[in-house]
Each structure stands twice: as structure tokens, then as C-alpha cells.
């Protein structure tokens, strides 16, 4: 699935659509890899998704801390930005294993820097910036990811 957005607001809006169509609810671990060049819109999309889930404060990429955790009632969202990671082994210091369970949503920017230490992606979202628009390509890697894309494509409200 490919979506084209022409503003930050539209990219955030697509993030909100992702939040509203997330499958599984309280008992499912959902993992999203966000790929693309610097400035492609990864954090902007994440901001829209997290705001739709109830985050009211600032949503910035955790470039220096690597991880930001949002406790949002029915779901706990982890926003990781691995851009500054120099070795995947650094992930061990974050205690991520305790968060790899149902009711959690992982949003991972620069997942290629985490190597094999990250859980497998349900969705891979690739953002590409153009002169006047951004292309957002969403691909499923698991049955959960396929269900998510099917809900995104369904014209009827998912929830």
C-alpha cells in the first residue's frame, strides 16, 4: 500500500489512521519499523499515531535517549530512534525484553541499526520525501501486519 501526503498535517493524519486501525487490542504486540532518510517524516507520522492514542505532550524523536515510553491505558507505546546506535548490543541496556509482550506497540525508527536484537516487524513503513510530497509505503511482514493493512484499506470504521 502506498499513500502520498503533501504536508506534515497529512502525514500526521495517516499516523492517526494507523492508530485507529491497529489490530489485536490489549493482548497483541505490534511492531512497526519506520525507514527512510533523515527528514522523510518518520517522527511526524509517529507523532500523529501517538497523539491519536492519547499523547497530549510533545512527541519528539528520542534521538539521544534512544527510547521514549508512553503509558496510554490499554496500550503502552515504545518509540525508539536508533539513529545514534553504534552497536546493536547497546539495546541490552534499555531493558526492552520486558516490553516485548501483548498490549505493547513498538515504533522503531532506523531499525536496521538494531540488527537481530529487535522483534520482527508486523509492518514496515518506508517514507520517501519528494519536492512537494512524501510517499509512505506500508508493507506487512506478519499476519498481524496483513490484518492491519486490511483494516487501513477498509472504508468502514475499524473501531
- Reported as a single tens digit per residue, the pLDDT across 19-63 is 999 987 668 899 999 999 998 999 999 999 999 999 988 888 887
Q: What's the Cα-to-Cα distance from 48 to each of 10, 22, 44, 88, 91, rounded to whole Å?
A: 9, 14, 6, 28, 26
User: SS3 of 159, please?
Assistant: coil
53-110 pLDDT, tens digit per residue, is: 999 888 888 877 789 999 988 899 999 999 988 899 888 888 888 888 888 999 999 9
- The CA distance from 70 to 119, in Å, is 19
Name the strand (E) or helix (H) holding 11: helix 8-20
User: SS3 of 106, please?
Assistant: strand
Report, as an integer, the average pLDDT of 134-148: 95
| Closest C-alpha to 139, from 32, 61, 19 | 32
Amino acid at each position: 500500500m502506498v499513500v502520498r501526503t503533501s504536508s506534515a498535517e497529512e502525514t500526521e493524519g495517516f499516523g492517526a489512521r494507523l492508530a485507529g486501525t491497529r489490530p489485536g487490542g490489549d493482548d497483541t504486540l505490534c511492531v512497526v519499523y519506520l525507514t527512510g532518510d533523515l527528514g522523510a517524516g518518520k517522527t511526524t507520522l509517529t507523532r500523529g499515531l501517538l497523539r491519536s492514542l492519547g499523547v497530549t505532550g510533545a512527541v519528539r524523536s528520542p534521538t539521544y535517549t534512544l527510547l521514549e515510553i508512553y503509558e496510554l491505558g490499554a496500550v503502552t507505546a515504545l518509540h525508539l530512534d536508533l539513529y545514534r546506535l553504534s552497536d546493536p548490543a547497546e539495546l541490552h541496556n534499555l531493558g526492552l525484553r520486558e516490553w516485548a509482550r501483548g498490549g505493547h506497540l513498538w515504533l522503531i525508527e532506523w531499525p536496521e541499526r538494531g540488527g537481530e536484537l529487535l522483534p520482527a516487524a508486523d509492518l514496515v513503513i518506508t517514507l520517501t520525501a519528494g519536492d512537494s510530497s512524501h510517499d509512505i509505503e506500508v508493507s506487512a511482514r506478519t499476519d498481524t501486519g496483513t490484518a492491519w493493512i486490511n483494516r487501513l484499506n477498509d472504508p468502514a470504521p475499524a473501531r
